[in-house]
Structure 1
């Protein structure tokens, strides 16, 4: 029963992630619910196997249909990979509790900004080029990569809004760049956790099948319905993230 439950959760997580990010909202709580006595590091490492597989499948599907702007995406990938690994190492040295308590408020600001700017992400008009674009991309990769390594929830949402707001992408083009950068952060964390023996490979691979299937459905919906659809799902996911992270930070015993 646990395997069927987790495969279904992985499918839903892959679908959500492929459209707007935030699939961890479904997949991580499902893992902790099914195996409450297992090491948190092992559960998170196992989650990365499934999440990385679904993200890779979505990136491949998007990349075939939507132009990837490598001038920003490439430097962000490299910086995010390196700093995600650094963040995962920092997690062993410093407490993550302050981040956990601050996250709902940061997400609330993000949601308010997105809702207030009704045209945000509806038109694709890249605003940076050359050296300015590269340095901005490196900055995004450093900040969000480190955050994903040390904590993680909402990484896809933060990447999405960064590509929309900083680089002038619409939500569809931002989504494809987000997938490639998030793939790098997931890979970095996966390598670190695998090296420390914190992955249940059999379960991770079963969940990966469900996550990949969900990602194919999600990316098909996003490609069919465009940026307006992605924006609506993004707003819904960020709202759900606010409620979930606020509960975890302040109400859970």
Structure 2
């Protein structure tokens, strides 16, 4: 009897130990499963929050660029300028007019924007966009609408871009500012060989496709043209300002020769000698 009781007691103890072991394993499994869930949720929330923050920052940057582009274009089109380029806005004897009226009047003479008017337009655009010129590149242009793809629609093209030099260092490249770090160009200057402006309608579009996110603002214009002995006719045109964060430009898409670009200092240096005609 005693032997049977001891055996029964041992079986009960083994059963109890097995049950306690199973309960312990179940508790550990539950704890590990709970830990996996918490870790997964934490990682998910981190990536969601991080991605949301990045998307909000990108959206704010795009919105800032768009708002600034729109406001800057309005300011350019409605800014004032002395009718005598040798005077300034603070000269009490200066006759002041809208910049756009000044440009339209010049264009109506010979369907071209003379060099002195280009300089006035450049200085106004440069001053208005000066607050962001260190971190943004831009192109501002006046163009005629409904022009054949074989012709150049651009009447005036101003380009501001950052100059950088890429130096390869192992697997990465180091970018250093150029000298000077920024350059302003007047593009679509007629070629000496042909006398024709080289910039075609799709060339700026191809450039914008390579610079990433950009902010574009456009305003419609009405210009006047008059052939000798004929009545003036209205010509539909538009002004456009495009901003993008400073970046290296693809040399396959943009180069001085194909775009007919000249640095503003070189182009306007002839004004010191008294030449005011179109380039």
Q: Which has the higher helix share?
A: 1
Whether the TM-score (by the shorter chain) exceeds 0.5 is: no
Structure 1 length as normaliser, TM-score? 0.27
Q: Which has the higher strand share?
A: 2
Q: Higher relative contact order at CA 8 Å, sep ≥6: structure 1 or structure 2?
A: 1
Structure 2 length as normaliser, TM-score? 0.25
